[in-house]
Amino acid sequence: MSVSASAETLSDDVIDPGRLGLWLFLLSEILLFGGFFASYVMMRWGSPDCRLGTPAWPAPDYGTTLSMAALNTFILITSSYTMVRSVLACEEGRVEAFRRNLWATIGLGAAFLAVKAVEYSLKFGHGYYPGGHFVVEHPGYAIFFSFYFVMTGLHGVHVLVGLIWNGLLLRSRQDPRSPEFARKAEYAGLYWHFVDVVWVFLFPLFYLI
């Protein structure tokens, strides 16, 4: 076997340190959100006011709440699709397609946050927060609303970080056709898809059951 052939074989077997580092970071994120999810499920299971298995939201506002959450699910899944198309285009050296799909991903991510902001404002208007007039009358809901704002807020921060990351990728002066840039695009994609995975679990747990 020639030296170049053996080096090529070796490079196929050895993982890129950047990607390994990112997966380690994602592992820490799995543990962070996993702890929240387990605590939330235990809280809901033992709650007499908002027991797990049926939607916890008060009935008058539930239709609007579910519609907005379903819209955000559609937005985030679509953004994951545009992100993976962007990474693929980058790997193929199709710069225009890469930029177009990345812009679409950023636009969809911003739309997700906009819908979430409207949803939060409606919740505050109804007094659906710890200390709000609804919670004063129904104290059993306080812990549910606390979990709701902490977990969806933490997820929203992750979406914001993803938007900044994608924006930096768009503004990068590095050659988009270079393998190094393609790796950076892949890292941004991995993070963005993870944010989507978290929402995939948040959606049913907070809005459907």
Q: Are 33 and 186 in contact (CB under 8 A)?
A: no
Q: Smaller CB distance to other proteins: residue 41 or 113? A: 41
CB atoms within 10 A of CB 53: 8
Q: Smaller CB distance to other proteins: residue 90 or 135? A: 90
CB of 88 to other proteins, least distance (A): 6
Residue type at 83? M
CB of 28 to other proteins, least distance (A): 9
Contacts of 111 (CB under 8 A, 6+ apart): 75
Look at residues 171, 170, 162, 168 and name the one whose alpha carbon lies nearest to residue 191. Answer: 162
CB atoms within 10 A of CB 69: 22
Q: Smaller CB distance to other proteins: residue 31 or 117? A: 31
CB of 196 to other proteins, least distance (A): 6
Q: Smaller CB distance to other proteins: residue 81 or 134? A: 81
Torsion of CA 159, 160, 166, 171, to 10 degrees: 170
Q: Smaller CB distance to other proteins: residue 68 or 127? A: 68
CB of 187 to other proteins, least distance (A): 11
Look at residues 106, 113, 95, 66 and name the one whose alpha carbon lies nearest to residue 188. Answer: 106
Q: Helix (H, G, I), strand (E, B), or coil: what is residue 178?
A: coil
CB of 90 to other proteins, least distance (A): 12
Between CA 155 and CA 193 the distance in angstroms is 12
* Footprint of other proteins (CB under 8 A): 13, 15, 19-20, 23-24, 26-27, 30-31, 34-35, 37-38, 41-42, 45-46, 51-55, 66, 70, 73-74, 77-78, 80-81, 83-85, 88, 91-92, 189-190, 193-194, 196-197, 200-201, 203-205, 208-209
